[in-house]
Amino acid sequence: MRNKVGNRALLFALLVLTVVCLGGLLAPAHDQSKPSVEANSQSCPNDDTGLKLPAGFCATVFADNIGHARHMVVAPTGILYANTWSGKYYGNDTPHAGGFLVGLQDKSGSGKADVIERFGETVQTGGAGGTGIGLYKGWIYAENNDRILRYSLSGDSMVPSGPADTVVSGLPLGGDHPMHPFIINAEGSMYVDLGTATNSCQLKNRTLKSPGVQPCAELETRGGIWRYDANKTNQTFSTAERFATGIRNTEGFGIDSSGRMFVTQHGRDQLHANWPDLYKPEQEATQPAEELLLLRAKGDYGWPECYYDAFVQKLVLAPEYGGDGGKTIGVCANKIAPIAAFPAHWAPNAMVLYDKKQFPARYRGGVFIAFHGSWDRAPYAQGGYNVVFQALDGGRASGQCEIFADGFAGSVKSPARAEHRPSGLAVGPDGALYVSDDIRGRIYRIVYHGGSESGAAKVTPCPSLTAPAGNPVAVAAQPPEGTHPDAGAAANNLPVPPGATREMVLLGERIYRGQVGGAACTGCHGVSGQGTPLGPDLTGKKWLWSDGSYAGIAKTITEGVSQPKQYRSPMPPMGGAQLTPDQVSALAAYVWSLSHRASPNPN
């Protein structure tokens, strides 16, 4: 899944989670291997996060509003470094001044950053920030645009002062997944994710019934993990450094004490939207699963020919390559399956292996995964927007995953309306877990405060992979009396464009929400048309394509947008659905109405 935010909603676009409880800094001397089965008897007086955590854990806001915070790393000194991003994904809003990289330090011991300094590339120097960041031998490594740079840390300085060296340049940009997360192992091997430019390597990306390219030439330069040497500079991207292939988008990395490397994979999108003859509408929300992989040299993990079917729990043949809705395995029998799977479209944006002793013993050697949250489950309820824990036993998963931290999104889990979205994870030298958010730029700090020594931890298991999608919803159920910003904005109160009828606007709303026509528009444009990372705001007067007229909107819906001006992903004709001309006219009438709705009377 991809990470996206719309114009107006994106002004709020970054969240970095940091969870902290001062009492946790003075951990009890008794055995912490058995968390409390009841609510922690000792309160968390400084918890200002609203997060839901297992008993015995406390969370606080470590920092706020630092920019669209992505991945993080913590130095042995306790200084936290974060990379922030900008651009189309965040509505092209104005980045913070002073550099895209941020150093944060808690000098007072309050559990909150009281010193924040920015450094690195700026907009003025041509930078756009990025996702990946790491530490190795006194250097800070960071992704910026098409390269990975390194900065020397020296003396008592919190942030570097000298210029950066280029470690590797020429990394592919553009398309659906332009970010370059990475990890560096103890020997200095730097493993870089080069996510795919497309959803499933179709001839026409995200387009109804477009077949897959055979062979998929994209795999020569993307869709895998590349390995470079962190000790060297001025390396240049080439196909020779490819370490593993067939991975659509890896953003989470973890290395255990034996040197085994684990990575996450974002599963593909739009099975029903692009192949409605093979998949039911609810399968858009329930297929395919997200994945945790054990990385192997020269391993092939199946993309684009295969995806992991959450119900049969096997890699199966994708419809673009002759698949029949999950029955045929074909070449997927020779691909490497995941060691663990998670609910569809949750979007695993970061991962960290927990190797400290501050948390109870059951967490040691397992991984925490930050799920950014879904968009492609619409018109069904979205999922993710949380941090999950998965225990490991050697090179395999041990037991079912559990929801460790939830509540980041607030009252509504959706790309356009979530208050915060987990996007990065890091563990400090004191054992604290940090979570970043790329909507409002928040960082949370989570610590263990202690609790009862009797019994096993009371945990919340992850939903079953085979759980039904539920009933279609636009937003979470709320009173109709106006307790949300869209109260009173039902389609029967919207204006009607010349040449259309009230009935057409009402039908258009049902098509927009996926109740008619087979594909929802809400995943890309938001539940009320306010925009998301995938598509622009439809409620204003600014039109990127056409003149905003009723006929012009209908033309854009019919033809699609193959090369967006301000968004990374194209819109297939009719959004990938099979709409009749009357349905196109009705949908265009509804979209026109959204942009011509009268503004509320300020008095």
Residue 525: what pLDDT? 85
Of 293-302, 458-467, 553-562, where does mean pLDDT reach its minimum?
A: 553-562
Q: How confident is the model at residue 29 (pLDDT cuts 50, 70, 90)?
A: very low
What is the pLDDT confidence band of residue 486, given thresholds at 50, 70 and 90?
very low
Asked if pLDDT for residue 159 goes beyond 60, the answer is yes
Q: What integer pLDDT is reported at residue 423 of this predicted model? A: 98
In the structure encoding, which two tokens stand for residue 489, read together? 């904005």
Specify burial of residue 530 (Cβ count, 10 A radius: 0-12, 13-18, 19+): buried
Query: Which residues, 6 or more positions from 511, have their beta carbon under 8 angstroms from its beta carbon?
Result: 517, 521, 579, 583, 586, 587, 590
- What is the rounded distance in angstroms from the CA atom of residue 545 to the CA atom of residue 343? 35
Q: Which amino acid does the sequence have at 156? A: D
Taking the C-alpha atoms of residue 307 and residue 325, their distance in angstroms, rounded to an integer, is 11
Residue 153: is its pLDDT beyond 60?
yes
Contact 387, 435 (CB under 8 A): yes
Between CA 411 and CA 8 the distance in angstroms is: 19
Determine the pLDDT at residue 519.
65
pLDDT band at 492 (very low <50, low <70, confident <90, very high): low
47-51, 210-214, 537-541, 583-587: which range is least confident on average? 537-541
Q: Which residue has the higher pLDDT, 540 or 141?
A: 141
Average pLDDT of span 480-493? 40
Give the integer Cα–Cα distance in Å for 149 and 165: 6
Q: Which element (helix H / strand E) includes 18?
A: strand 15-18
- Report the chain's C-alpha Rg in angstroms: 24
Q: Is the pLDDT of residue 516 over 50?
A: yes
At residue 455, the pLDDT reads 37
Residue 523 has a pLDDT of: 74
Which range (33-47, 271-285, 286-300, 303-317) has the least confidence? Answer: 33-47
With residue 69 as reference, give the H or E element that holds it.
Answer: strand 68-74
pLDDT at 575: 80
pLDDT at 41 over 70: no
| Of 28-42, 85-99, 350-364, 543-557, the least confident | 28-42
State yes or no: pLDDT of 483 exceeds 50: no
Whether 17 shows a pLDDT value over 90: the answer reads no
The ranges assigned to domains in the chain are 7-461, 491-595
* pLDDT confidence of residue 453: 42
Residues 92-142: pLDDT tens digits?
Answer: 788 888 999 999 999 998 899 999 999 999 999 999 999 999 999 999 999
Instruction: Of 119-128, 360-369, 429-438, give the lowest mean pLDDT range.
Output: 119-128
pLDDT at 429: 97
165: confidence class by pLDDT, cuts 50, 70, 90? very high
The average pLDDT across 392-405 equals: 96
**What is residue 491's predicted lDDT score, i.e. its pLDDT?**
52
What pLDDT is stored for residue 572 in this prediction?
Answer: 80
Confidence band for 598, pLDDT divided at 50, 70 and 90: low
Number of helices (H), then strands (E), in the chain: 7, 31
Q: Which residue has the higher pLDDT, 567 or 497?
A: 497
More confident residue, 262 or 548: 262
Please determine, for residue 28, whether its predicted confidence score (pLDDT) is greater than 90. Answer: no
What average pLDDT does this structure show over 468-493? 52
The lowest-confidence range among 39-53, 182-196, 244-258, 547-561 is 39-53
Distances from the Cα of 133 to the Cαs of 180, 212, 231, 437, 577, in angstroms? 9, 34, 15, 15, 39
CB 369 within 8 A of CB 387: yes
pLDDT at 56 over 90: yes
Instruction: Quote the pLDDT of residue 547.
Output: 86
Q: In what order do the strands lie in the sheet with 80-85?
A: 68-74, 80-85, 101-105, 115-119
Q: What is the mean pLDDT of the chain?
A: 86
In this prediction, residues 510-533 reach a mean pLDDT of: 78
- Identify which has the larger pLDDT, 253 or 489: 253
Sign of dihedral through CA atoms 100, 345, 538, 201? positive
Question: Quick one: which of 197, 167, 270 has its CA closest to 521?
Answer: 270
pLDDT above 50 (res 597): yes
From the list 411, 398, 288, 292, the residue with the least C-alpha distance to 343 is: 288
Residue with tokens 């002004």: 11
- Dist. CA 267–CA 265, nearest whole Å: 6
Structure-token pair, residue 526: 């938001």
Fold of 7-461: Neuraminidase (2.120.10)
- 317-348 pLDDT, tens digit per residue, is 999 999 999 999 999 999 999 999 999 999 99
State residue 457's pLDDT score: 59
| pLDDT bracket for residue 192 (50, 70, 90) | very high
3-state secondary structure of 445: strand
| Of residues 300, 325, 345, 317, the one with CA closest to residue 212 | 317
Domain 491-595 CATH (choose: 1.10.760.10, 1.10.3720.10, 3.40.50.920, 3.30.56.10): 1.10.760.10
